[in-house]
Each structure stands twice: as C-alpha cells, then as structure tokens.
Amino acid sequence: MTVIDNIFEKIVSKEIDEKEAIQSFKNLQEFEQKELISKLRYQLSTGNKEDYTTKKTLTPLDQRDLNDKQRAFIKKLALDYENFVPKSKNNVIEHQSYFVDQRRAFHLIKEIKELHFQITYENAEGAYVYDIDGNKYIDISGDMGVNIFGHKPKFILDAVKKTMDKGIPLAGYSNAIFETTKLFSEITGHERVLFTQSGTESVMVAVRIARAATQKKKIVIFEGAYHGLSDAVMAIKDQNGNSFAAGPGMLQEFAEQILVLDYGDKNALDIIEDHIDELAGVLVEPVQSRFIYNKPIEFLKELRKFTLEKGIPLIFDEMITGFRVSPKGAQGIFNIKPDLATYGKIVGGGLPTGVIAGSAKYMDLIDGGMWNFNDDSMPKSKRTSMGGTHSQNPLKIASCHAVLSEIKRKLPKDQECNNDSKNCKCFLCELNDKTKHMVEELKVFFLENRLPIKIDYFGSLFRFRYLDSFWGVTEALMFILMRMNGIETNIQGNCFLTTSHTNNDIKKIIEGIKVSLKTLMEEGFFYEKKEERKEVTEEKKAHELVLKKNESVSTQKKVDMKINDKQMAKLKEFIVSDLIKEQELY
C-alpha cells in the first residue's frame, strides 16, 4: 500500500480526525496531494468504498481486434482528416516518388494507412506551428529536442542575420568561436570544447577518442539508448548477450566491437570487469530518451567510480538532456562528471550542431594539447583524425553563441542551478516545474479513467507510454486526434515544453489530450479485458485458506470501514477545505 493509499484509507474510515488528515496532506509532495484529492473526489462522487485505483486498468484495442463500429469510425476520421489537411496530404501523394524521408514508414499501421502522413508546415513562431492548410497548432514536438526557447526567437535570428551580413567563410578562426567555446566551458564545467557537424558525428568522434586513448577496441553501450547513426555505436543484443548489427548495411564486424548491456543492472559492472582488458570506453545516455522512467542514479555513480579506478573513459551522451534539464545537463542533476560528453540539439539553436566537451586529458587527442611559441614546446599528445568542412560554420557558431549567452543571462548570478524549483528560480527550474504540474494533472486523468497510459518525464522532456502495448492503432489514433485538436507532437514519441509555452497553452495541451482520449473511450478503443479462468490447485486453496484466516483475525482489530452519511459529510469538508482547495488544478 502506498503512502497515498494509506492516508486515503484512514480518511475514509475516519481512523484519523480532520486535523490529522490535513497534517498528513501537508506532508505529501505536491503531486501526491493532487492524486489524493482525485481519489477522494472519485470516492465521494460514487459513494463507493472502492476507489478507481482498485479497478482493473483498461486495455488499448489492437488493430487485429477492430470491429465494424471502430472501422466505421476510422473511415470517417480519415475523411475528416483529409478535409482538415488536404494540401498536406496532396503534397505527400505528389512528391513521394522523388522525395525520400526515413520517417515516412515509421510506425506505419495498415488499418490506418490513410491517416499516416506528415503535415507540411508554412511557418512557426513561439509555441506554435502553422500548416499550409491554415491550421494553427500548439507544438510539443520540440523539434526533436532542439527547441527550448520557442520557434523563431529574436536573439537567434539577430545573431545569424548579423553574421550573414559579415559573410560566412568556413576556414579560419573568428572571435565568435573563441567566445562560444569559453561560454560553453563556463556553463558546463568542461575543460575543452570541440565543434562537430552533427550529434551523430560528435558521438562517433568521442568513441574514436576513447579508443585512441586506451589503444583498445570494445565500447560498452546500454540497451534502450540511442547514440545516433554511426556504425561505431549501432548494435543490438540477443537473449544470450551477443551483439549484432542493428540493420541492413551495417557490418557485423562493427557490432562485434560493441558490448550491449542492461542499463541499471548491477551485473553489468561484473561484465564490464570481465572485459576490462579489451575495453576502450563506456558510452551512456544517462536518462534514455525512449525509457525516461529508468533513472539508475546509484548505478551511474558506481559506474563512474569503477571507470575512474580502471582508467576507462566514461562518455555521457547529453544530446537531449544537455542544457534542457539543467545548465550542466543530467551531469548537474546527478552530480556525476564523465570524462567526455556529447551535445547538440539545443545549443545549435536549430542549426546542425554537434559538440564534444571534456577533460584536457582526452580532448588533447584531437589537437595535441597546448604548446607555446618561441620555445621548444610541441604538441604533447598523440592525435587522432577529425575534421569537417562545416564543423565551425560561422552561422552555427553565431547561433550557438546566442543560445549560450541567453542561457547564461537567464541563470541566477549568485548561485548555481541546483534543480530544485523551490529554492532555484532559474528559467530551467521554472520550465521543469511547469512540466511536472502538467504531467501530474494528466496522470490523475489517466488514473480516474483507468487508462493504460503512463506519462514519464525528466525536466521538460516527457513521453506517453502505453502499458503492454507498443504503437498499436489506439496509440496512433491518439496522436492523430491530438493534432486535430490543435496539438502537434512527434510520432517518434518524445515531447517537450519550451519557455514560450504559457500557462494557457499548457491548459489547452491538457484539454486537447483529454478530449482526444475521451473520443477513443467513447468509440471503444479502450476496453475491459476479461481474465482467463485458471485452475486452482489444492495446494493453492490451502494457502488461500490460511491467508483468509489471518486476514479475518487482522480485520477484528481494525476500525469498521463502512462509510456512513456523517463520514461522507466529513470527507466533503476535507475536500473543500481551504488548504486542499488551493492545491487543486481543476
């Protein structure tokens, strides 16, 4: 029984008085207070002792189980959707013969193929995107993690335009490069900074640095992580732990140099130790963007301790979490500093960008380290190969400098962000807090309606997760309906809030999600799954008899749980008390 359930039981049974109930309420975290309120409201409205959390969660309908009613709904929705975005659909039909997009077939379901196409945008500004059919959407796609200040922020546009006016030579240095790398170091705490052309490239080069430093080959990655498209990090494992190439065109020889382990599993440390003589480095996405709920902090601390002791470079992939969850990314929240970290997304401000940052010990392997003029000094370190025409593209550097300057400007001057919204009022903590409130309200809605949906979040990143289902027809229709209700999201799953989202925008997001799910509930896309009857053995019967006897003895010692009218009236007083009323989101 959870803390919330325990307090709920005590209030309902009048095991505690009003004063104790309110004190117990005060001791809860804010999201727990909201869940308790919802449980009490549900119980009061139904008059039943049983609350919604004791009822069986509904099951999302699978495309194999569609009936005539649901097929008719899909057919009508397809017509409505085509009328909603006719120009966008026509663009796909007209241009698909020569336009190649890897996302076209992503999550394609045959039964709703008519609904499966990307819309064509006309423009974007702030928290909104606009399509060529004249529709306006609140955007929670976050440009796949790039967007944190909203679309078309003036400070980025001004910086890029100013640089364009100066010309954009791709060779040579500029003061902007020096100032940007210094800013990056100041904010993140890393010693040295290297720009690359993309996030994929930054991970690829970071792995190369680790191999150059150790003169070994094998790289550890963790199942569920995503580190870009380089063959150097793309592998999957079978049930026996063997690594295989992740897809056609990817070489098995590359995969054999990758060790894929279970993230957060302490046995992984033993496996790493078993391969210590051939291990070049460990690559970690500290919070996996596809499995946000898994945050094994203690495991990461043990991993950091182990890699330091063994002299193995630890690389954090902060492509999505960097500059989003805190100024120092997940490193700042977990207080764990890797040897190298890779970035992109936010810091580029919308222009293609990758960054590697870390300790001089490893970063020196790119340029040989520091040396002086007018003496006999030379590069101290051996060097590995790295280059790219657009690595230091002036437009990208201008955008990066603008983003980093804005981040620094918005941070508290007298203290570092500590990821505590109660004590830190920096813009990232405020954004994280705003996301938490939105998520917790949606969680309550899912619980009240027994929906098989979780919503995981970390900072301002959040993701919907259907229980016991991976992208079935119900989930796909939810995202289509959200779009038709004015909420634009990302078929790949990750969603984001930005500083441009107002409280009113968030209310509309919540309402759009609720309306979409209510439609699916009404059309039977969530249903009560019948339990299969299981044969009860004599041994199990005897065991249940013992449990029943013990429960009977225990029940005699408990207060009668039956609710009378007086207790119901007292419950109402709890719910409408000023203390609880102030906490309500409704």
pLDDT confidence of residue 24 = 85
Contact predicate 579/24, CB 8 Å = no
Q: How far apart are CA 483 and CA 156, in angstroms?
A: 28
Q: Is residue 256 helix, strand or coil? A: coil
pLDDT confidence of residue 56 = 84
172 to 168, 180, 201: CA distances (angstroms)? 11, 15, 21
- pLDDT-based confidence at residue 548 (cuts at 50, 70, 90): low
pLDDT confidence of residue 539 = 54
The per-residue pLDDT for range 190-206, each reduced to its tens digit, is 999 999 999 999 999 99
The per-residue pLDDT for range 301-348, each reduced to its tens digit, is 999 999 999 999 999 999 999 999 999 999 999 999 999 999 999 999
Q: What is the DSSP string of 89-146?
A: HHHHHHHTTT---TTTTTT--GGGGGG--PPPEEEEEBTEEEETTS-EEEE-SGGGGT
pLDDT mean over 161-171: 92
Q: How far apart are CA 304 and CA 301, in angstroms?
A: 5
Percent above pLDDT 70 for the chain = 85
pLDDT mean over 551-572: 45
pLDDT confidence of residue 356 = 98
Higher pLDDT, 444 or 4: 444
Q: Of the ranges 327-341, 518-532, 551-565, 568-582, which one carries the lowest mean pLDDT score?
A: 551-565
The per-residue pLDDT for range 19-67, each reduced to its tens digit, is 888 888 888 876 677 677 767 765 665 555 444 445 689 999 999 999 9
Report the run of H or E that residue 354 belongs to, with start and end: strand 354-358
Q: CB atoms < 10 A from the CB of 541, how many?
A: 9
Mean of the per-residue pLDDT values of the chain = 87
pLDDT confidence of residue 86 = 97
Name every residue whose Cβ is closer than 8 Å to that of residue 51 and which is 6 or more positions away in sequence. 8, 39, 42, 43
pLDDT confidence of residue 408 = 94
pLDDT confidence of residue 136 = 98
Residue 279 predicted with pLDDT over 60? yes
- pLDDT-based confidence at residue 572 (cuts at 50, 70, 90): very low
- pLDDT-based confidence at residue 553 (cuts at 50, 70, 90): very low
Q: Number of C-alpha atoms within 13 angstroms, CB side, residue 550?
A: 6
356 pairs with which residues across the strands?
194, 342
Contact predicate 348/396, CB 8 Å = yes
- pLDDT-based confidence at residue 555 (cuts at 50, 70, 90): very low
**What pTM did the predictor assign?**
0.82
Q: How far apart are CA 157 and CA 402, in angstroms?
A: 9
The residue type found at 452 is P
Taking every pair of Cα atoms in the chain, the longest distance, rounded to a whole number of angstroms, is: 92
The per-residue pLDDT for range 248-265, each reduced to its tens digit, is 999 999 999 999 999 999
